[in-house]
Structure formats: C-alpha cells, structure tokens
Amino acid sequence: MRELGRHILIEMYDCDPDVLNNLETIRTEMLEAAIVSGATIVGEVFHRFTPQGVSGAVVIAESHLSIHTWPEYGYAALDLFTCGDTVDPWVAFGYLAEKLQAGRTSQTEVKRGLFPTELGQARPYKNTPAQRSDC
C-alpha cells in the first residue's frame, strides 16, 4: 500500500485569543507556515466572523492548510494536508503552534489516498503523466 498524502488534524488549546481573532495575523501566519514547510501557494481564502473567530484555507500545490479559530475558547482547529515528499507538514505545525502561542496541542496524522498497488500501475488518464506536477 502506498498513500498519496498525509493529513494532520491538529487541536490547539490555550492559544492567545487576540491572535486567534486577528484576521490579518492568522492569514499572514498561515501563508508563512506554507512557505516555511516548503509548499507552493496557489490560492487562499480567509474570513472573520462576527462577533469573533477566523476561518481560512491556503490551497497549495501539495493540497491545503486550513484553520478555524474560536477566540472565546482559546481554541483553533487546523488541518495540514500535503502530498508528495517535498513538503513537511510538521514544520508548518511547529511554526503555527508557536505563533498562536498554543499552550496544549493534540494531533493525529491520517494517510490519504491509499492504493493497493504501486502508483505507477494506476489507471492512466488520457495518457498524461501519472503524477501531478507537484506530487
């Protein structure tokens, strides 16, 4: 079996509420987390809620990084999904845990896209190369 990607689900508790509620800070740090982990950013979307909280996603060539914050609980839910071997999602995790000043975290890594055979033997699509350019 081989997986196409790794998906890390992260709970960050006891974060700085002011950081969690700042749209520009969250956006900047999520983009920076993508960069420091070696990812290629291809798109982004962020939104601040009323009365509080920020949600957003950074789409990368290697999948995505997402975040949802609840400042009132000092809590953020993140998931860092990467495919290929060039990006290390744990680097992004370490970066964000520090920037959000998380007091406590828990994280689970899930393998995504499991195939019973070597990927090179998978069904080709219109005779294009068998791999996405970045994975």
Residues 6+ apart with CB under 8 A from 33: 58, 65, 80, 92, 95, 96, 99
First to last CA, the chain: 17
Minimum CB separation of residue 59 from its own copies in Å reads 5
27 binds its own copies (CB under 8 A): no
Distance CA 89, CA 111 (A): 13
Distance CA 35, CA 107 (A): 21
Among positions 34, 61, 80, 96, the unique one binding its own copies when judged by CB under 8 A: 61
Among positions 24, 47, 98, 103, the unique one binding its own copies when judged by CB under 8 A: 47
11 binds its own copies (CB under 8 A): yes
Give the pair of three-digit tokens for residue 10: 């992260």
Among positions 36, 77, 84, 86, the unique one binding its own copies when judged by CB under 8 A: 77
Q: Which of 83, 106, 133, 135 is catalytic?
A: 83
Give the pair of three-digit tokens for residue 68: 């949802």
Decide if 69 contacts 76 (C-beta within 8 A).
Answer: yes
5 binds its own copies (CB under 8 A): yes
Q: Which of 7, 15, 64, 68 is catalytic?
A: 68
Which spans of this chain sit near its own copies (rule: CB under 8 A)? 4-5, 7, 9, 11, 17, 21, 42-47, 49-53, 55-57, 59, 61, 63-64, 66, 68, 70-75, 77, 79, 81, 83, 108, 110, 112-115, 119, 122-126, 128-134
